[in-house]
Structure 1
Amino acid sequence: MPTPNIRKPSLWTAAAATVAAGAAVYAITRRKKPELVTVSHVDLHRYAGLWYEIARLPQRFERRCTNVTAEYRPLPDGRIEVTNTCHKNSVYGPTEVAHGVARVADSETNAKLKVQFQWPFEGDYWILTLDPEYQFALVGTPNRKALWVLARKPHLSLPTLHNLVEIARQKGFPVEKLIYTEQLETNLP
């Protein structure tokens, strides 16, 4: 019985198949994340005031920060004055304060802001989730490299916190990297 004529793949065919398979895997793992959706509307006057940082993704400028707060104050020209405060190394450590200004980048919703602490650099500040009573918020950036869980009090209930973390996970944020901010108990109102 004659042997069938089976062609063995050439080295180039095998290499091309390997490259194609690698490209397919790369494309699957590098899929563009879906568009980041913000809340439909923010009343910036209700949003103004003091917020406590409950959790955050690591940020260079917040290294070793505890007892972190952010305070927002509307300005007559429509911008928002921003004052961020943190204590370095412990809740009793030296205080660092950063002053900046935010402007609305999406006047239809007021949920997308541009914040500037040093001219000419601006950063995104998107309000992704907001309690109807303005008691807690989830804020992030469209590249998903920055995320903050904020509240009007220094602590959130665990169910609320877990819900916000799950929302962030569903929006594509790497929540496994979250840092939970230590807050000084005497900050309680």
Structure 2
Amino acid sequence: MAGVAVLAGCSSTRPPAGVEAVTPFDLARYQGRWYELARLDHAFERGMTDVSATYTAQPDGSVRVVNRGFAPAAGLWREAVGKAWFTGAPTTGSLKVSFFGPFYGGYHVAALDPDYRWALVLGPDTGYCWILARDKQLDAAQRTAIVARAHALGVDTSALIWVSHTRQDPAF
């Protein structure tokens, strides 16, 4: 959910070929709540709406990740809690994330608004892509520019699923 419920069983933590994670990256500015505006389809998020992720820096250098979304088929909110670690310097937006014990997947901030209002995140390959924002929507021009950037990085942007945000999450 929201870009980080990546990959049970996948252990690649490197960015996709040709993709460099954002530098400089400031976790203090990145942490907090993000709304998932778009994603590529994967079983762990299939059908979910109102998806968000909250990132919180931890004293041990890790990042607590809480993904939440509404599952309309079940009529309930679902939550997954994971842990992320930087794969190199904490000034580069490249992390490995785990929700499933020892299995980690890559989480790479491939593009980031200078004011930390939106982010383009890729997993270990371009088959994992999320567009995140601090607000539940972006203006059309900004959205178009982010999609073009994702396409230039090799993402099949025609397959993006645009996530609706119509419910009020009871956790917030």
How far off its partner does 1:40 sit? 1.6
Aligned residue among 150, 153, 156 for 1:174: 156
Aligned residue among 79, 84, 99 for 1:102: 84
TM-score (norm 1): 0.77
**Paired position in structure 2 for 1:117:** 99
**Paired position in structure 2 for 1:61:** 44
Give aligned-pair identity as a percent: 36
Once residues 61 and 51 of structure 1 are traced to their aligned partners in structure 2, the CA distance between those partners, rounded to angstroms, is 18
How far off its partner does 1:186 sit? 5.2
1:161 is aligned to 2:161: no
Structure (1 or 2) with the larger CA radius of gyration: 1
**Paired position in structure 2 for 1:137:** 119
Q: AA paired with 2:35?
A: Y
- The answer to whether the 8 Å contact 1:102/1:116 transfers is yes
- The answer to whether the 8 Å contact 2:17/2:125 transfers is no
**Paired position in structure 2 for 1:52:** 35
TM-score (norm 2): 0.84
**Paired position in structure 2 for 1:85:** 68
- The answer to whether the 8 Å contact 1:36/1:142 transfers is no
How far off its partner does 1:142 sit? 3.7
Q: AA paired with 2:59?
A: P
Which structure is higher in RCO with an 8 Å CA cutoff and minimum separation 6? 2
Root-mean-square deviation (Å): 1.9
How far off its partner does 1:106 sit? 2.0
- The answer to whether the 8 Å contact 2:24/2:92 transfers is yes
Q: AA paired with 1:35?
A: G
* Matched positions, count: 155
Q: Which runs of 5+ in 1 are unaligned?
A: 1-32
Secondary structure of 2:61 counterpart: coil
Secondary structure of 1:60 counterpart: coil
**Paired position in structure 2 for 1:150:** 132
The structure with the greater share of residues assigned to helix is: 1
Q: AA paired with 1:163?
A: A
